A and B are shown apart, each in its own frame.
Chain A
C-alpha cells in the first residue's frame, strides 16, 4: 500500500529563515505528488504539484519542491519564510494505477515568529 512520511511534525523558524520540509513516499510506480497548505481556520489549498517533466517545481507564494525519484522524496522548500507562512503543510501522493484519491502524510506544523 502507498504511504507518505513527513519527517518533521513541528518546525519553528524565525522570519527570513530558510525552510525545507521532508516528504518521502512509498510506491514503486508512476506517481503524482502534491503539497497542500492549511492556514489556521481555512481549507486545504494546493501549493504545488508534480506530474512529470522538470523535477523542480515552483508553486505559489515562493514555494518550490524537488522530486528525487531515486530517493522517493518530494521535499518542500522556501528560501525565506514569512510570518504569514505559519500553517500546516501536507504532502500527498496519488499513484496513477491506484485510483485518484490522495494519500496524505501526517502533516507538518510550521510556526514562524516575527
Chain B
C-alpha cells in the first residue's frame, strides 16, 4: 500500500459523458501528479499540482481538467468522453515539487468508455 488512494476503482460510462476521478495523496505530500496508461500510448504524464496550484502540464487534452483542493486531494475531470479515453488513470504524490523526489503511485482508476 503506497498511501495514495484513488476512487473509484472502476468506472464504466458512455461516450459524451463526464466523469470525475479522485485522488488522495500520502499524508504530508504536497504534490500530486496524474498519469494516463493506455495500451498504445503507455504511461503518459497529464498534469501536476503542487499545494493547490497547477505546476506542470503534459499531454492533457482540453476536455480534461484537474484541481487540487485545500485538503490536498485532487480531482481529474474528463468530459465529452470518447472511446479512446478508455485507460487506466494513475495518481501519484510526492513530498514536494523537487525533481529528485520519489513519486508514490495509487492503484489507479480504470475508465471504460462504451
Interface presence of B74 (CB below 8 A): no
Q: Are B43 and A90 in contact (CB under 8 A)?
A: yes
| B108 and chain A: residue at smallest CB distance | A43
Q: Which of B11-19, B78-86, B94-102 contacts A (4 or more CB under 8 A)?
A: B94-102
A44 touches B48 (CB 8 A): no
Residue ID in chain B nearest A103 by CB atoms: B45
Task: Say yes or no for B10: interface residue by CB 8 A criterion.
Answer: no
* Closest chain A residue, CB of each to CB of B58: A101
Contact B43 A43 (CB under 8 A): no
The answer to whether A100 and B42 touch across the interface, beta carbons within 8 angstroms, is no
State how many residues of chain A have any CB contact under 8 Å with chain B: 23
CB pair B99 A96 closer than 8 Å: yes
A99:B48 contact, CB within 8 angstroms: yes
Is the CB of A32 closer than 8 A to any CB of chain B? yes
Closest chain B CB from A3 CB (angstroms): 11
User: Nearest Cβ distance between residue A39 and chain B, in whole angstroms?
Assistant: 12
Q: Does A42 contact B (CB under 8 A)?
A: yes
Are the C-beta atoms of B99 and A32 separated by less than 8 Å?
Answer: yes
Q: Known contacts A43-B2, A90-B43; is A102 also within 8 Å of B100 by CB?
A: no
In the assembled complex, how far is the CB of residue A20 from the closest CB belonging to chain B, in whole angstroms?
21
What 0/1 readout, one digit per residue, does chain B (37-67) give for beta carbons within 8 Å of chain A?
0000011110010000001101000000000
Instruction: Select one of A42, A102, A103, A106 contacting B103, CB under 8 A.
Output: A102
B89 contacts partner chain A, Cβ-Cβ < 8 Å: no
Could you pull out 23 A-B pairs where Cβ atoms are within 8 angstroms? A32-B100, A34-B102, A36-B105, A42-B107, A43-B106, A43-B107, A44-B92, A45-B2, A46-B102, A94-B100, A95-B99, A96-B99, A99-B48, A99-B99, A100-B48, A100-B99, A100-B101, A101-B56, A102-B35, A102-B103, A103-B45, A105-B42, A107-B43
A contacts, CB < 8 Å to B: 32, 34, 36, 42-46, 49, 51, 90, 94-96, 99-107
